[in-house]
Amino acid sequence: MIDVTILFPDQTFPSTATGPMEVFRHAGMLWNNMTGTQPVCHFRVTTASIDGRAVRCDGPISIQPEVALPEIRKTDLIFIPSTGLSVEDVAERNAPVIPWLKRWHKRGAAIASVCSGVGLVAAAGLLDGKRATTHWSLGERFREKYPKVRWMPELMVTEDTDLYCGGGVNASLDLSLYLVGRFCGHEVAMQSAKALLIEMPRAWQAGFAIVPLKTEHSDQTISTAQDWLHQNFHQNFPLETPAERVGMSLRNFVRRFKQATGDSPLIYLQKLRVAAAKRLLESDHRTMQEISDAVGYQDVVFFRQIFQRHTGVSPSAYRRKFGV
């Protein structure tokens, strides 16, 4: 059983709290009940506010949590919704949350946050040097306030070690479903999405971010090149392009890139494109040629070969198995 704490910060956007509550509570339950199979409860959800009192939401309602932060004795995952507060106010108005997050992160809890709620994790210093996203309109202000964070607001969902971030308000569902998949497996996430009539993490932006590639290393130059590849993989370019952007010869770039990431730049790029293609195949109804074009391969036959090489199945077979 995975213990999830959903925090209600001051001025909570209620949908970004109640939506994830429903996703976590019903993972392994609702679909199983619908299909006549044995329900399996994967998450134990606890709601909390700073002092245990009802929280005034961004609107004419309040929500009552179960406990105060000091009453939490066990949690594997902390989920922080969005708020109606400004970038400047979100940390100040929720100041007691920051040391609490630090303590639980040190104990090994994963932390997920959405939109302006990401600011609480940034204020705790936990995102320094990490990839993170937020709502596109907040990106520049967060970048100015927390310059050590590798802000990528063009992405819907990011994962860096055990820290997860979601973009705008509705990204709370994208992030929740992604976390179900991360903790319980892809099949449970797909079943949850179907039972709740929610699309799986939206293909384009989610596909850009959710990639099982090594990003934790000390070579900042290569990290800059990786960021560029994550943002531009859908374009057609020679490998000299990212090498030139970081001021390196192609030979030195290839050597340093593989040393830092474990993959050559070409294999890394292929993995990025295949990961994005997977998301499109799972939740999109475009033709194979359109998907091939969307991830940077104009030659659909070559795209099929690359996809099969990295996944062991053809794109069509993958769609039949995992497509909505």
From the list 186, 269, 192, the residue with the least C-alpha distance to 235 is 269
The CA–CA distances, whole Å, from 161 to 19, 53, 60, 154 equal 24, 32, 37, 19
Rounded CA-CA distance 149/130 in Å is 6
Distance in angstroms (rounded) separating the CA atoms of residues 157 and 20: 14
Cβ distance 68 to 48 under 8 Å? yes
Q: Can you tell me the distance from the alpha carbon of 93 to that of 96, in angstroms, rounded to the nearest whole number?
A: 9
Residue 38's SS3 state is coil
pLDDT at 163: 95
- Map residue 44 onto helix, strand or coil: strand
Contacts of 312 (CB under 8 A, 6+ apart): none
pLDDT recorded at residue 244: 95
Place of tokens 């909505």: 324
pLDDT at 10: 92
Residue 67 has phi, psi (to 5 degrees) of: -140, 170
* CA separation, residue 176 to residues 39, 169, 313 (Å): 19, 12, 27
- Mention every residue, 6+ apart, whose C-beta is less than 8 A from residue 150: 129, 130, 131, 132, 223, 227
- Which residues, including other chains, have CB under 8 Å from residue 205's CB and lie 6 or more apart? 154, 155, 156, 157, 167
Strand, coil or helix: 275: helix
Closest CA to 232 of 156, 154, 126: 154
312, 283, 87: which is closest to 189 by C-alpha? 283
**DSSP at 117:** G
Q: What residue spans of 107-219 are helical by DSSP H? A: 118-123, 139-145, 171-184, 186-196, 203-209
Give the pLDDT score at 208.
36
Helices of type H across the chain: 15-26, 30-35, 87-93, 97-106, 118-123, 139-145, 171-184, 186-196, 203-209, 220-232, 240-245, 250-261, 265-283, 288-294, 300-311, 315-322
CA distance 250 to 57: 53
Q: What is the mean pLDDT of each run of 10 residues along the chain (324 residues)?
A: 96 93 94 89 96 89 94 97 90 95 96 96 95 88 92 83 88 92 89 83 41 69 91 91 94 94 92 89 86 94 92 86 71
DSSP state at residue 136:
G
What's the confidence (pLDDT) of residue 259?
92
Query: Please, what are the domains in the chain?
Result: 2-209 (3.40.50.880), 220-322 (1.10.10.60)
Residue appearing with tokens 């700073």: 50
* Prediction pTM value: 0.67
